[in-house]
Amino acid sequence: MASLGLSAAEREAVEAFRRDVVEPSMTSLVILDFWAEWCGPCKALTPILEKVAAAYADKGVVLKKINVDENKLIAAQFRVQSIPTVYALFQGQLVADLTPARTESQLKQYLEQILKQLPVQGEAQAREAELEPLVAMGEEVLAGGDSARAVGIFSQLIEMAPEEPAVVSGLARALVGAGQLDEAEALLAALPDEARKDAAIARAQSAVALAREAQPVDDLGALQRRIAADPADLDARFELAGGLMAAGDRDGAADQLLAIIAADRGWNEGAARARLLKLMEVVGLEDPWTGATRRRLSALLFT
């Protein structure tokens, strides 16, 4: 922001803006709120901005308020024509117009989208970077089938970050793998409603639900013989899929569920497709197995 030709008061305002807004924006996401004492809508918006900024403080979000009557030059530089006007700044650059967000949920939605795209440096991001390799190690152990060891790893991590979705999800799924379904359900039930919307938590919830559905079968061979005698016995196929899942045979379970979908897409109100989607979510949407299974499902549904 140029300062040539400005009065002493204007130069002071520019310097204050650089110090209080631009410099913090080098690492933080600054919510810039243009307001005035006489502006009723501004006063109504202020508590919402303050509440959300406080909630996102550990993610590197900072609220700065600019009184347009006292900082006319700054307001003019940002071409503020009406108030309230709310912008998001990062590294000295305008990155988003937050003015349309007038509710807490709308503002949070904006911030979540912005924070996913920018390298904002907050305590939460630093903690996540520290946890990432440890979570990856726990996931690798869990994927290798050592659920008991995975429980131990994630139990230690949850002491470090009790509200981190990836950690809670990992522990819940490890508990499921270890056969401790009640403990997994209790862990997830204790989460606040907002946390349950996270994709990692949804994955853990699917793991619990799938484990409840997929009851062990004493004699898988008997079901396989029933199906060999009558390939159209979809009840037997569905029961076999559950037994195979309980036994850890996801390939065999997927084969049976896909066979049901191929025979009758709407069978039992789409139970086979719903179970297959749940299985893919539990395995992980980025897992190569899930990608291959999704392609098999798409081939059935769209051909």
List residues with catalytic annotation: 39, 42
Our CA angle for 133, 154, 254, nearest 5°, is 90
Confirm if 256 and 238 have CB atoms less than 8 A apart. Answer: yes
DSSP letter for each residue of 108-141: HHHHHHHHHHS----HHHHHHHHHHHHHHHHHHH
Beta strands in 22-159 (DSSP E): 29-35, 61-67, 85-90, 93-97
Q: Which residues have CB under 8 Å from 141's CB, separation 6+?
A: 149, 150, 153
Instruction: Report CA Rg, the chain.
Output: 27
